[in-house]
Chain A
Amino acid sequence: MTRTRRPPRVLLLSWLALLALLATTVTIAYIPLGVANTVIAIIIAAVKGAIVAAIFMELRERNPLTVTFAGAGFFWLGIMLWLALADYVTRPNFPPVMKWGL
């Protein structure tokens, strides 16, 4: 049982890309960019998630139905976040303590 089997190129590349993205997101986190820090962290996490979903979970080879099922969860999560946060962002007395100091 030899160990010379090589992983498929696309899997290897995406693995390395994921590790690289991990490194970048950590380094960027230490650069003080204010709000941008959060936005970049989430974008990089989304890219890493997309790589895992598209390649590891073979979504790119699947029919549109499977892709819609995969996206449905995130879309509905988006609805929940969007409308609930609309309340939190515009509520006059939340939080009782501090409001706008970003």
Chain B
Amino acid sequence: MDNWASHANPLLPHGETTHASSVDLLFLGLVASSILVLVLLFFLLFRFAIHYRAGNTNADRDHRIRKSWRLETAWTVATLVAFLALFVWGARLYLNLYDVPGDAQPIYVVAKQWMWKVQHPGGQREINELHIPINQSVRLIMSSQDVIHSFFIPAFRVKHDVLPGTSEEIWFDPRKAGVFHLFCAEYCGTDHSRMTGRIVVMQQPEFETWLARQDVNGTLASQGASLFRQLGCSGCHGNGSKVRAPALEGLYGSRVSLSDGTMEIADERFIRDSILKPRAKIAAGYQALMPAYEGKISEDEVVKIIAYVKSLGGEMGVPQ
């Protein structure tokens, strides 16, 4: 908990991540333009207030500006142009949040009323903590088990709501080692203010040793494999089975054609929905035989099975 209070001056960018420093630059731009407007306005206000006060009789009060529309259009256009610039600047940065780099390391986050459960692909599990290596971009795949939460790391200037029923993603590339706040930013009930945590950014070697020290009962994928057999998935999807079920090898990242003629990329969300609500997305050429596991398996188990299915190969998934 070393540099807890290391919140340096909030106004200067101290870039925990590339995105954070560009957001701080945007903040300075916004503050500068606002101060410009405020100084202009307050100067005029005070000048008129003092010069044209009722007591000051020798102020020149005739030949007032008659035609106002020239002045009006001038300051309207000026404000519009300034706003357009700020809009474009903000929008461009916002869109970076959506183009996730290819090499981002996926980590699964499950939000539950009033705690964060984090699961690394290697099987390490953390509560209200996220240990990540420096200079390695990270992609969080987040889902909630009950109400809407919001994963907020002030230092990285990033936040995204965590919705029940679907999974949301954020990514960041930490540039500075240190311990940073994690807050829940969407009101979620009694202990909303206790649903906080720490993001620990470590040097690569330290991270390796930390990973090794975690008592891991197998990687996420290996736990998923045992669940795959335990829940009877291998009964149909295993290669020795007599039941016609779509093969899962190489499924992750491939394009799947569905029974109603549409095509979908089999990303984590597709796999997740096919496990929980299989009958809604039936692969072309197959009957809707698979039982729905919604409500029967917990969020953590779904995450493990997804990791296992991904581990069966496919362009996006790296076989572990």
> Which chain A positions have C-beta within 8 A of B167?
93
Q: Are A93 and B260 in contact (CB under 8 A)?
A: no
Q: A93-B166, A93-B167 are in contact. Are A98 and B281 (CB under 8 A)?
A: yes
Q: Are B165 and A96 in contact (CB under 8 A)?
A: yes
Q: Judge whether A69 is part of the interface by a CB distance below 8 angstroms.
A: no
> Which chain A positions have C-beta within 8 A of B165?
96
Q: Judge whether B273 is part of the interface by a CB distance below 8 angstroms.
A: yes
Min CB–CB distance B66 → chain A (angstroms): 32
Contact of B277 among A93, A97, A99, A100 (CB under 8 A): A97
Q: Which residue of B lies closest to A101 (CB)?
A: B260
Q: Which residue of A lies closest to B258 (CB)?
A: A101
> Which chain B positions have C-beta within 8 A of A93?
166-168, 269
Min CB–CB distance A94 → chain B (angstroms): 8
Q: Judge whether B205 is part of the interface by a CB distance below 8 angstroms.
A: no
Q: Judge whether B261 is part of the interface by a CB distance below 8 angstroms.
A: yes
Min CB–CB distance B161 → chain A (angstroms): 12
Q: Are A96 and B258 in contact (CB under 8 A)?
A: no
- Chain B: interface size category: 10 to 19
Mark out the residues of chain B between 262 and 293 whose CB falls within 8 Å of any chain A CB in the assembled complex. Answer: 262, 264, 269, 273, 277, 280-281
Q: Are A101 and B269 in contact (CB under 8 A)?
A: no
Q: Are B280 and A97 in contact (CB under 8 A)?
A: yes
Q: Are A101 and B261 in contact (CB under 8 A)?
A: yes
Write out, one digit per residue, whether chain B residues 220-263 have a CB within 8 A of any chain A CB (1) or not (0): 00000000000000000000000000000000000000101110
Q: Are A96 and B260 in contact (CB under 8 A)?
A: no
- Chain A: interface size category: under 10
Mark out the residues of chain B between 151 and 201 whose CB falls within 8 Å of any chain A CB in the assembled complex. Answer: 165-168
Bound-state CA distance A97–B166 (Å) is 9
Bound-state CA distance A99–B273 (Å) is 12
Bound-state CA distance A101–B262 (Å) is 6
Q: Which residue of B lies closest to A94 (CB)?
A: B166
Write out, one digit per residue, whether chain A residues 71-99 have a CB within 8 A of any chain B CB (1) or not (0): 00000000000000000000001101111
Q: A93-B166, A93-B167 are in contact. Are A100 and B262 (CB under 8 A)?
A: yes
Q: Which residue of A lies closest to B163 (CB)?
A: A93
Q: Are A98 and B269 in contact (CB under 8 A)?
A: no
Bound-state CA distance A99–B267 (Å) is 14
Q: Are A96 and B166 in contact (CB under 8 A)?
A: yes
> Which chain B positions have C-beta within 8 A of A94?
166
> Which chain A positions have C-beta within 8 A of B264?
99
Bound-state CA distance A100–B261 (Å) is 10
Central interface residue in A94, A99, A100, by most chain B CB within 10 Å: A100
Central interface residue in A93, A94, A99, by most chain B CB within 10 Å: A93
> Which chain A positions have C-beta within 8 A of B281?
97-98
Q: Are B166 and A98 in contact (CB under 8 A)?
A: no
Q: Which residue of A lies closest to B277 (CB)?
A: A97
> Which chain B positions have C-beta within 8 A of A97?
273, 277, 280-281
> Which chain A positions have C-beta within 8 A of B269?
93, 96
Mark out the residues of chain A between 14 and 49 whose CB falls within 8 Å of any chain B CB in the assembled complex. Answer: none
Bound-state CA distance A96–B281 (Å) is 10
Additional 4 contacts, C-beta under 8 A, given A93-B166, A93-B167, A97-B273: A96-B165, A96-B269, A98-B260, A98-B262
Chain A positions within 8 Å of B, measured between CB atoms, are 93-94, 96-101
Chain B positions within 8 Å of A, measured between CB atoms, are 165-168, 258, 260-262, 264, 269, 273, 277, 280-281
7 contacts between A and B (CB under 8 A): A96-B269, A96-B277, A97-B273, A97-B277, A99-B262, A99-B264, A100-B262
